[in-house]
Amino acid sequence: MYLASAQRYQSMSYNRLGNSGLKLPAISLGLWHNFGHQNSQEDMIKILCHAFDQGITHFDLANNYGPEPGAAESNFGYILSNYLKQYRDELIISTKAGYTMWDGPYGDWGSRKYLLSSLDQSLKRMGLEYVDIFYHHRMDPNTDLEETMGALDSAVRQGKALYVGLSNYDGPTLERACAILKDLHTPFVINQNRYSIFDRTIEHNGLKAKAQELHKGIIAFSPLAQGLLSDRYLNGISEDSRVKHDGRFLHESDVAKYHSAIVKLNDIALSRGQSLAQMALSWILRDGQVASVLIGASKVAQLNDNLKALNNTSFSDEELRLIDAAC
Ligand code: NDP
């Protein structure tokens, strides 16, 4: 039987999502990779329990995480019921719908039909009565925003989600969505977007500034650019890396493209007394505008490396300039 560490709240910091009452750990864990049917259950248990022992109270999922789609939720549900169940009220569990999930016209995008049936399926796979956060996973250019936001609102009214979030939205669409959700009195608290030293889209598409202005939280996904912003690919591509074992979205060509920047950034990190992964996470947390960095991990050692990022999240102007110049 698993008993969580009594010290689990001693070193993690927790940041408020905008003006809401909800706080997230500065480092959260996502189950996009490493929690599919091909992964070892023993490794998944070790990673989740170790994360919780270190104060990581937030686990992020989506209907389609696997492979195959749904597998991560099923695996998480098993581990939750066998290891973490007694800590349910200490956990923030999120899921999403918005990408292709099942065949036919009702298993994709942002219709009310899709979102609400997908949430029912997710709850079933995870063995939960409710999730803490339910996200719309991506903007849908063909469905009225009122319909999609209405579906998120219904999820809350039905008691199946405590809060709602938007993922992969841009600044202007966030603003329109936020107005609708405000009218509905829906507890919308968080934006989930890709953000890293290598991908600064949210600084250019208005999302980061608008979230701040509207007092909504941001959680940054793929903060390590799927491992590129670590020492993973510094000296070649090892057999157990994501590129080799699950290269659905990360390829050898990405390593080649970013390698010279990785080398330069690694030197800057060392001069700060950090690993590159630690510096990459600190960089996101530097200005207090991002509540949490949403990492992935294939090993407990990676979690431990990444957690040390919290020891130093301030940067001199010169360090920031050198980081920009290295990219
Ligand atoms: P990261 O950028 O943190 O990449 C994680 C990967 O980097 C790990 O699986 C591991 O890869 C490697 N890694 C992590 N730490 C270290 C370390 N210290 N040293 C060396 N290598 C390391 O995040 P992800 O891309 O995994 O995304 C995180 C989460 O964000 C997802 O699980 C999901 O919850 C969310 N997400 C949301 C999306 C959305 O559209 N809303 C889209 C994508 C992700 P390796 O296998 O090589 O060991």
266 lines ligand 1 (CB under 6 A): no
Atom index in ligand 1 nearest the CA of residue 250 equals 25
- Does residue 236 or residue 247 have the better pLDDT? 236
Question: How much is the average pLDDT of 91-101?
Answer: 98
pLDDT at 275 over 90: yes
232 lines ligand 1 (CB under 6 A): yes
Confidence of residue 321 (pLDDT cuts 50, 70, 90): very high
Confidence of residue 295 (pLDDT cuts 50, 70, 90): very high
Q: What is the residue-wise DSSP string for 183-236? A: HHT--EEEEEEE-SSS--HHHHSSHHHHHHHTT-EEEEESTTGGGTTSGGGTTS
Pocket test for ligand 1, best of 195, 221, 228, 310 (most atoms within 8 A of CB): 221
Q: What is the pTM of this model?
A: 0.98
CA of 24 to the centre of ligand 1 (A): 18
CA angle, 322 then 326 then 327, to 5°: 125
122 lines ligand 1 (CB under 6 A): no
Taking CA atoms only, the protein residue closest to ligand 1 atom 8 is: 297
Question: How much is the average pLDDT of 287-309?
Answer: 98
Confidence of residue 84 (pLDDT cuts 50, 70, 90): very high
pLDDT at 32 over 90: yes
Instruction: Tell me the pLDDT of the chain averaged across its residues.
Output: 97
Confidence of residue 228 (pLDDT cuts 50, 70, 90): very high
277 lines ligand 1 (CB under 6 A): yes
296 lines ligand 1 (CB under 6 A): yes
What pLDDT, on a 0 to 100 scale, did the predictor assign at position 31?
Answer: 98
224 lines ligand 1 (CB under 6 A): yes
Q: How far apart are CA 14 and CA 165, in angstroms?
A: 18
163 three-state secondary structure: strand
CATH superfamily of the domain spanning 14-234+278-316:
NADP-dependent oxidoreductase domain (3.20.20.100)
226 lines ligand 1 (CB under 6 A): yes
In eight-state DSSP terms, residue 90 is G
Q: Decide: 3 and 302 in contact? Cβ < 8 Å.
A: no
User: Count of alpha carbons within 13 Å of 163, Cβ hemisphere only?
Assistant: 20
CA of 196 to the centre of ligand 1 (A): 11
Percentage above 90 pLDDT, the chain: 98
Phi, psi of 292 (to 5 degrees): -150, 145
Confidence of residue 1 (pLDDT cuts 50, 70, 90): confident
Confidence of residue 77 (pLDDT cuts 50, 70, 90): very high
Taking CA atoms only, the protein residue closest to ligand 1 atom 7 is: 227
What pLDDT, on a 0 to 100 scale, did the predictor assign at position 246?
Answer: 84
Taking CA atoms only, the protein residue closest to ligand 1 atom 14 is: 297
pLDDT at 12 over 90: yes
Sorted by where each begins, the domain ranges of the chain are 14-234+278-316
223 lines ligand 1 (CB under 6 A): yes
What pLDDT, on a 0 to 100 scale, did the predictor assign at position 247?
Answer: 79
